[in-house]
Amino acid sequence: MNIGRVEGTVVCTIKTGSLEGLKLLVVRQIVNGQDKGLVIAADATRQAGRGDVVYMIGRKEAALMLDLKDPPPSDLTIAGIIDPETL
Amino acid sequence: MKIGRVTGTVVSTIKYEDYRGFKLLKVRPIDLEGAFSGEEVVALDAANAGVGDTVLINNDGGSAQMVMGDKKLVASVTICGVVDHYTYCGKTTFTH
């Protein structure tokens, strides 16, 4: 799972059915302590916000983490927030 | 599978529900000379590893389910062993 910092949100009115109700966030990926560009990730915790350092899961597991029975089309999902005082 | 070195711990209060009770570690792959190579990732620990340990990293969702013994677990990277030593080109490297 890769690490990143949440920098913004994505609002999207027209989207495919299973994406309904999901929170989409703009995340700056941090690889080996260096900036690796922006990505958009769905939020499985539903509690991440701007400034939070998060870890994200990719590939098939990104969709399964959001919903095991009806996986929405996500290729990157926030799995958790790293406690800021431990960074 | 790759070998890597544990570089830190991850403390995470808010996380995916099924990860409750699991230990998360930061781990970075190393080459067989012992130098870092590749990207640091967050992994679920199944081998009671600690910071500084050389570990076996598995990057597959199906394997994660087997290693953790939970057929419904959604995970990608798992630490599934602590390496004692390895031999490469006739040279044995002890990791601790």
Give chain A's domains with CATH numbers. Answer: 2-86 (2.40.50.220)
Interface test with A, best of B5, B7, B11, B14 (most A CBs within 10 A): B14
**CB-neighbour burial class of residue A48 (10 A; exposed 0-12, middle 13-18, buried 19+):** buried
pLDDT in tens, B24-76: 999 999 998 888 998 999 999 999 999 999 999 999 999 999 998 888 899 99
pLDDT in tens, A64-85: 999 888 889 999 999 999 998 8
- Where along chain B do its domains lie? 2-94
| DSSP β-ladder status, A53-58 and A2-10 | antiparallel
Interface test with B, best of A5, A55, A59, A65 (most B CBs within 10 A): A55
pLDDT of residue A16: 83
CA distance B4 to chain A (A): 14
Q: pLDDT at residue B79 above 90? A: yes
CA-closest candidate to residue A80, choices B70, B26, B92? B26
| pTM for this entry | 0.86
The class level of CATH for B2-94 reads mainly beta
| DSSP β-ladder status, B54-59 and B77-82 | antiparallel
- The reply to whether residue B39 touches residue A86, judged by beta carbons under 8 angstroms, is no
pLDDT in tens, B1-32: 999 999 999 999 999 989 999 999 999 999 98
Indicate the average pLDDT of chain A. 91
pLDDT in tens, A22-74: 999 999 999 988 999 999 999 999 999 999 999 999 999 999 999 888 889 99
pLDDT of residue B83: 92
A-to-B residue pairs, Cβ atoms closer than 8 angstroms: 68
